[in-house]
Structure 1
């Protein structure tokens, strides 16, 4: 009786995993820098110094996302044509310095300007990271790669919230910004040493431009998959950005925790989603490797994650602090089932390789919009209702929209069409 064996999976060079680790660390630092403001906005001294209302806090939280969203398409275009290493290097240094400079600001307008600069510079991160993964990872590693990368976006606020709170309590909000910004610059050392330059030569640039010319913004926007991905990114991002921007204040103001304790529970929430995201991405890869349809497998995980996230509603009705904290942590953790697989599905599996940078840039517009809308709308809802319950109910609506959208629009037949260069 003959037996068949699956062909051995090709080994991925160690250097590839090292660079992926650096991309994850870069994303982690970007999230520490973008969420450090949230801890400051839960500090009464910071609020009093700038005379901030709840609406002011919402707009200040959202400032980052407007410039972040505006620069997504230019950054996608940039990495498609000029590679990842050097554009990323310049932008990384810029946002770290802008974060540090926030500590010297004395007026509200100065805070807003610094946040706009940080947002514009950090717009490079996702298009560059997924461009690199798309060029260096095969399908049976894409879920794990997306999961590892996403750990940076989850452990960033998980680590950043308690550390920022500790710095504020120990020193001041201004020193917190200075230290988080300057310490982040250390990442540039291994990045410059380990990552090969992919800045194209004149000949390579001609080829790169020819490939880029085969992908037009019009062809991207005609794809229902792109619109479905944007809806998913918005619905997913609305919840996670609410947790990044408003969760510390919710835990302090409505649940009565200290600033330090709020940072600790924020850590548990984002650590949970990071671990589950990576495990779910790896598990989906193994199921796909056994011959199951990649799109269907990843969609199943995405839907499960969106539905699991709706348990945040149980936190709003919990009668005890312990129960509220349990559901807050669990709901974001369960959303991790969707994290890596949604990223792999929307940015890699359903997208032609030459379109990854531009397609990711377009999708990130929705992510940025989610951050801006979540921060500002939640602030307005809090102001009008006097409670955090209504903002959390809105989260559930968006999560259910995301689950339905995954079924309807994310189909291979509607993927972007690209012309031969």
Structure 2
């Protein structure tokens, strides 16, 4: 199961959201703290200004009345509040800040709770307590309008950051898809060179590598196809002359050798062919049954071939590709394996499988990797007549070109098995390619 967090976009998105959330939370906490401190400083400035104004008023115009909420209280009055030792931290900081702004030995108290907030101040030179109103010190609310704006800003920031992350990882995703296609032997169009400088350089190098590999592969295929094509005419003349020989034993030997050489040439041509298969898709189960039936009828000394076809009519492959796969693998099982040979298909949760297995000795574990390499023959005894070491290489190329994967190995110690897997998503592409060809 694919996890979104494993992708580059998923990790970038998680990182971006985490960083934005942390930065917005820190900004919100700092803003709340700064607002609280600003409110306290404003209240202190206002209170000290009012106290100084009352002192100047008393000193200059004692006969003039004071504002309604400002008053002078005799120290002996019972209304004077007692010094409180247990005040809330914000109020305690407020009182300390006011005391710091006043002359030394100034008494600063706050009015009793429950009434309008009042500040009581008396310096050593004051005859009475000066009582002035103060701004109420409200604690910042846990949820206010700032939270709404913060959520809106955070949402837009996340969307913009996710778009930037998507734009950054998109060229890398295209490059990863191209690398996967190149690894499976499929045609790879040039990847657009986008993104940061390092990614553009990487994409440019990949495009150059693909072009060089394609040019080398094309030159090799052209040379191989040319040599094989040029050999077909001399082989045909050689076979015609062999048929005219009088000595039957010599004639049969020469004809047999010519047929072996002709088969090798045909394998060369098939391996060199690099075009897309435009043949009509057919049901794999039905075609396997037809191929096995014709194989039994034509090859009298062939080993017993069984079928276990359980994929159903939805499993489609191009007819030419399927015929070449089956013929190469059944011939390979006939030449190197032992009966019975089993052709099986199945449907899995991921797609369809096609397998051909025999009951021979199989292939040594250390030789499985090189078994499908072109022109590799694992030992001289497995060569026989008319074999060039291209059979498994051709099958691998055909399977990958059809969008599938293959696996070669020994099954249960009873012989060699070639297992080919075709995901569901490659089947519509096969049908579409066929329709476009018409």
Q: Which has a greater percent of helix?
A: 1
Larger radius of gyration: 2
Q: Which has the higher strand share?
A: 2
How does the TM-score come out when normalised to structure 1? Answer: 0.23
TM-score when scaled to structure 2? 0.22
